[in-house]
């Protein structure tokens, strides 16, 4: 999962997912990374705890506005 976290952080830093942007769905990310949906959910939870991502109920997961890590 560390590689997944590093890649997501890298994509945020590089601007693939700029601050304020919505991440693809968990299922789409799972397919993209060829991992289980639960692995994606754990990665998202970790990045939310670190303040990199924010959840918006009913809307999805977004990159935090202050996220250029």
pLDDT tens by residue, 1-31: 899 999 999 999 999 999 999 999 999 999 9
Per-residue confidence (pLDDT) for residue 67, from 0 to 100: 53
Structure tokens of 23?
């991440």
Lowest mean pLDDT among 6-10, 51-55, 64-68: 64-68
What burial class does residue 34 get, using C-beta atoms within 10 Å of its C-beta: 0-12 exposed, 13-18 middle, 19+ buried? exposed
Per-residue confidence (pLDDT) for residue 69, from 0 to 100: 45
Question: Quick one: DSSP state of residue 16?
Answer: S
């Amino acid at each position: 999962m560390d590689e997944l976290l590093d890649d997501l952080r890298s994509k945020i830093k590089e601007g693939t997912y700029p601050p304020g942007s919505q991440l693809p769905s968990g299922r789409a990310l799972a397919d993209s990374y060829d991992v289980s949906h639960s692995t994606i959910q754990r990665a998202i939870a970790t990045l939310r705890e670190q303040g990199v991502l924010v959840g918006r109920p009913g809307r999805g997961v977004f990159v935090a506005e202050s996220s250029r890590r």
